[in-house]
C-alpha cells in the first residue's frame, strides 16, 4: 500500500513543496495540506503503518528523519531541529518513539493544536 492510495498525490506534492527549505517543516501545516487531518482513524493507522518503516509498531527518531521521504522519495530529510521538535511533541511517554494509539497522535492531527517549537 502506498500513501497515494490514502492521500491525493497532488496534496502530498503540495505539502512537500511547502517545506522544501531546511527548518521550514511544520507538522501541523504538513498534515493539513496533505489532507491527513481529515482522514478517519482507520486511514491514519494505515498511514502510520506505512511510515513505520521497520514495522515495529512505533516510529523511532531515526525513521522520523526520513518522514518526508516516505511521502515522496526525492524529498529532503528533516533537520535535527525538526526531528527533535516533532519527536518531543509526538512522543507522549518520552520513550523515544511514537505509537499510533497515543494521545500525541490525536493532538498532532488536531487542526487547533499549536506546536511550541515553531515561532
Binding residue per annotation — 13? no
* Residue 55: strand, helix, or coil: coil
Binding residue per annotation — 4? no
Binding residue per annotation — 52? yes
Q: How many residues does the chain have?
A: 119
Grid cell listed for 67: 518522514
Binding residue per annotation — 92? no
Binding residue per annotation — 56? yes
Tell me the Cα Rg of the chain: 13
Binding residue per annotation — 58? yes
> Per the annotation, where are the binding residues?
52, 54, 56, 58, 63, 91, 93, 95
> Per the annotation, where are the binding residues for Ca(2+)?
52, 54, 56, 58, 63, 91, 93, 95
Amino acid at each position: 500500500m502506498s500513501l497515494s492510495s490514502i492521500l491525493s498525490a497532488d496534496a502530498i506534492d503540495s505539502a512537500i513543496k511547502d517545506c522544501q527549505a531546511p527548518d521550514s517543516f511544520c507538522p501541523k501545516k504538513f498534515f493539513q495540506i496533505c489532507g491527513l487531518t481529515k482522514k478517519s482513524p482507520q486511514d491514519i493507522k494505515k498511514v502510520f503503518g506505512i511510515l513505520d518503516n521497520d514495522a515495529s509498531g512505533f516510529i523511532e527518531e531515526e525513521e522520523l528523519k526520513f518522514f518526508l521521504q516516505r511521502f515522496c522519495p526525492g524529498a529532503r530529510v528533516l533537520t535535527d531541529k525538526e526531528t527533535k521538535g516533532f519527536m518531543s511533541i509526538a512522543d507522549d511517554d518520552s520513550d523515544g518513539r511514537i505509537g499510533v494509539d497515543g494521545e500525541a497522535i490525536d493532538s498532532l492531527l488536531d487542526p487547533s493544536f499549536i506546536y511550541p517549537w515553531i515561532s
